[in-house]
């Protein structure tokens, strides 16, 4: 299987699992059910779930056991996008080529759809962990890693600083803070949670953390570059996006060429952290290189 085939195989497993999970919620009020599904199935790359499944496989785990954790990760990611797009936050009308959640369902339902997805992730995590009584400590450790990364010490910290810096002069260290928290924390947690399901060695955690930190940052830099180089349009972002609102981005602070060079260096560094895992890490290495090739 080449990289693309293996990625798509995992992507399909995640899509199927998310659909199965959502069927369990079909009795909830129709409006919120529709609003949640609208954003959850809006064509994301599912990078976080794929990273978790891959990390779990790498320490000889069975991905059937980690599938619900992977799905919950995507629910948390989707909630963060819905709330980020709200008028009081980034005020985006379009995402992934379709109108944002609040544009379709109204702001009130969009707030509740985000809340629903965040809470649902934990419902799914907890239910799943009860299915593995002999390994429940591992499962709860994995969920705890995700929870901490999603909170005020992780993703939300990045969102807060991002919100506060809007329209203010660009400062490289703040830009770094925003992205290592807003994007990086959850990417790193996805990988570490996969390891936590098995009794991985400390050296494995250290290696995957260093890989994750660099991958997360490279991923965000490429996002910033794509936003400027016009590929943004194919991402479905509206013209009033980042640049127009004077958001601090890597492209605006360092310029396109230097940003590109930084992303390439981060990916090389990320890949070199994975020696500990030998050829079991091949897929993670390819994911890192793919980050540089992607056009959306």
Contact positions toward a second copy, by CB under 8 A?
A: 25, 27-29, 31-33, 36, 79, 83, 86-89, 106-112, 114-116, 118-120, 122-123, 126-127, 129-130, 133, 136-137, 140-141, 143-144, 147-148, 150-153, 156-157, 159-161, 163-164
Least distance (Å) between residue 137 CB and a second copy: 6
For a second copy, give the closer residue by CB, 107 or 258.
107
268 alpha carbon, distance to own chain's centre: 21
288: three-class secondary structure by DSSP: helix
For a second copy, give the closer residue by CB, 182 or 285.
182
Question: Any idea of the CA torsion for 106, 108, 113, 118, to the nearest 10 degrees?
Answer: 140
Least distance (Å) between residue 29 CB and a second copy: 5
Least distance (Å) between residue 177 CB and a second copy: 9
Residues β-bridged to residue 98: 95
Least distance (Å) between residue 26 CB and a second copy: 10
The b-or-e profile of 235-253 (16+ CB within 10 A means b, else e) is bbbeeebbeeeebbbbbbb
For a second copy, give the closer residue by CB, 77 or 285.
77
Least distance (Å) between residue 160 CB and a second copy: 5
For a second copy, give the closer residue by CB, 156 or 253.
156
Residues β-bridged to residue 120: none
Q: Which of 253, 260, 257 is CA-nearest to residue 168?
A: 253
- Residue 159 in contact with residue 182, Cβ under 8 Å? yes
Least distance (Å) between residue 52 CB and a second copy: 17
45: three-class secondary structure by DSSP: coil
Dihedral of CA 296/250/248/239: which sign? negative
For a second copy, give the closer residue by CB, 10 or 247.
247
- Residue 26 in contact with residue 33, Cβ under 8 Å? yes
For a second copy, give the closer residue by CB, 58 or 120.
120
């Amino acid at each position: 299987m080449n990289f693309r085939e293996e990625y798509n195989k995992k992507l399909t497993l995640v899509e199927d699992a998310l659909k199965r999970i959502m069927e369990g919620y079909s009795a909830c009020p129709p409006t919120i059910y529709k609003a949640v599904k609208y954003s959850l199935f809006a064509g994301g790359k599912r990078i976080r779930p794929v990273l978790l499944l891959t990390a779990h496989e790498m320490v000889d785990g069975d991905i059937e056991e980690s599938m619900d954790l992977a799905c919950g990760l995507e629910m948390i990611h989707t909630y963060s996008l819905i709330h980020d797009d709200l008028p009081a936050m980034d005020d985006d009308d379009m995402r992934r080529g379709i109108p944002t959640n609040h544009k379709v369902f109204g702001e009130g339902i969009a707030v509740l759809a985000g809340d629903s997805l965040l809470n649902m992730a934990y419902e799914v995590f907890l239910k799943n962990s009860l299915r593995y009584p002999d390994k429940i400590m591992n499962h709860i450790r994995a969920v705890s890693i995700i929870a901490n990364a999603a909170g005020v010490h992780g993703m939300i910290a990045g969102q807060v600083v991002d919100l506060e810096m809007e329209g203010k002069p660009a400062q490289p260290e703040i830009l770094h803070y925003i992205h290592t928290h807003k994007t990086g924390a959850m990417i790193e947690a996805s990988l570490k949670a996969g390891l936590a399901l098995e009794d991985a060695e400390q050296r494995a955690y250290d290696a995957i953390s260093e890989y994750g930190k660099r991958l997360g940052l490279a991923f965000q830099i490429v996002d910033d570059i794509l936003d400027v180089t016009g590929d943004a349009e194919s991402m479905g972002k509206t013209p009033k996006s980042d640049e127009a609102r004077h958001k601090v981005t890597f492209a605006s602070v360092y310029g396109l060429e230097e940003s590109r060079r930084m992303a390439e260096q981060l990916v090389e560094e990320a890949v070199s952290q994975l020696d500990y895992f030998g050829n079991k890490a091949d897929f993670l290495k390819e994911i890192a290189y793919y980050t540089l090739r992607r056009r959306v």
